[in-house]
Structure 1
């Protein structure tokens, strides 16, 4: 049974989550942002590797991850980096790296060490950017992010709370889709197996689901108009997402770590 979720209710910390869940969502975006921007431009192996390890350390210390997410981080991300790195290495132009060490030679095809360096530098950059994004993504709810945008960045509340209303559509669509499926099964509509039957079933779900979405959007719009939503330049916040000193400390520490990685003269570039 699908239960409705109130997007306006105050978000509760995720079960078992540590200090990251208590931080302001904007702090978890602002902290890793300079590192993510830097990774777009670097081309060495050392910088993305260090940022990847930094992101791992913050996630493993700051959030108690589920078994599935832990497996994704410890097994899935390294496996993806290896696959992507080898793929980019194979497709690297040999003329650019033919002065480097020969790693593998098969007939007329040669894999150079320089090609591996280029491929894995790209793969590590992608992996580091994705893992840094998970710092905020795994411990922040959509409603809290919208509230912080409205309260700290002064995004117009008409825009922000319209987005909050949109969050309510997601669980409602799941509930209505299950109701439509049950109705079709009771009536024996679109039976059978195979890809054609599956496409026919989904085609039968689209029209009633779209009609339900339009009706729900109309009800939400009428309710907002009847409550004079948007009639005033500001509104009183029911749930606050404050920006505290610990948020600023997290951002400054992350920026300091980023500067250390980029400016340290003791780590040779690879």
Structure 2
């Protein structure tokens, strides 16, 4: 009988093992750089066509994640557009030469020209946020972080702290959900009593946040975080030719759409 191979006997001991991806999955690093031309075009072009297209693409991408996520993103897009539109319309000073026509259904009744400028500015910001949020929903942080650490030598301390911040936000959201459930059970569904008790949730949630922060600090110190120059990676995945093709196609379509919108003649060979 042959002895069972131990961990040190295996030839791949101590190496980082890549996490297999789905056949049609795009690398997280490629997803990060995908919207860059759209963001630049949205900021530099005068019209709102690129911004509206970015919002539409973002909602379609979000629909692939799930109808609930897409619906929430749509509501956030509409509310964000209205809030930013109203704020910009109030903040942008009206020119004396502008027409006397005003938008009566907006707060402060801004002139039409000022309202249009404010709407374009609001759509630019909202389109960038919508597209970024929709794409970020498909990014696997562990694969992205380990790839940047292993392939591009990005300091792991920076990436791990960002990842821990995301985990901390998840814990905070869980504490808030637990507190809301307890309030709803205690008030037996009464909205008025729930509102009164809900106002006092700030202190318990903050205390829970401090407790999580203390536990996280102790755990990181006990595990020697930052004591070494590098760390073991388990989810690093190399970029493939398919990722470059996807990025090239998306960038090319975005640049072509931006050029067409600006009215620059395009030579097709």
TM-score by length of 2: 0.63
Specify whether residues 77 and 105 from structure 1 end up closer, same or farther in structure 2 by C-alpha distance, changes over 3 A only.
Answer: closer
RMSD after superposition: 4.4
Counterpart selection for 1:32 from 26, 35, 54: 35
Contact 1:88-1:119 at 8 Å conserved across structures? yes
Residue 71 of structure 1: aligned partner: 71
Q: Could you tell me which runs of 5 or more consecutive residues in structure 1 were left unpaired when the two chains were aligned.
A: 1-8, 183-192
- Alignment correspondent of 1:52: 52
DSSP-derived class of the 2:238 partner: coil
Aligned positions of 1:81-230 closer than 5 A: 81-82=81-82, 84-85=84-85, 87-89=87-89, 92-95=92-95, 98-99=98-99, 102=101, 112-161=111-160, 163-164=162-163, 169=168, 202-203=202-203, 206-207=206-207, 210-211=210-211, 213-224=213-224, 230=227
Instruction: Give the superposition deviation at 1:121.
Output: 0.8
**Superposition map of 1:251-270 within 5 A:** 251-264=247-260, 267=263
Change (3 A) 1:97 1:83: farther
| Alignment deviations for residues 116-135 of structure 1 (CA, whole Å, 9 cap, x no partner) | 32121111111211122124
C-alpha distance in 1 between matches for 2:240 and 2:101: 54
- Aligned mates of 1:124, 1:205 — CA distance in 2: 35
Give the structure 1 partner of residue 234 of structure 2. 238
Question: Unaligned stretches of 5+ in structure 2?
Answer: 1-17, 183-192, 265-269
Question: What is the Cα deviation at residue 220 of structure 1?
Answer: 3.1
Note closer, same or farther for the CA distance 1:263–1:164 as it changes in structure 2 (3 Å cut).
Answer: closer
Q: Give CA deviations for 1:41-73 in whole Å, capped at 9, x if unaligned.
A: 44x2x3x33243145236525861322222234
* Pairwise CA distance, 1:110: 7.3
State the 1:249 CA deviation.
1.9
In 2, the alpha carbon distance for the partners of 1:123 and 1:262 equals 19
CA distance in 2, matches of 1:102, 1:206: 49
Residue number in structure 1 paired with 2:6 = none
User: What is the CA–CA distance in structure 2 between the aligned matches of 1:265 and 1:52, rounded to whole Å?
Assistant: 12
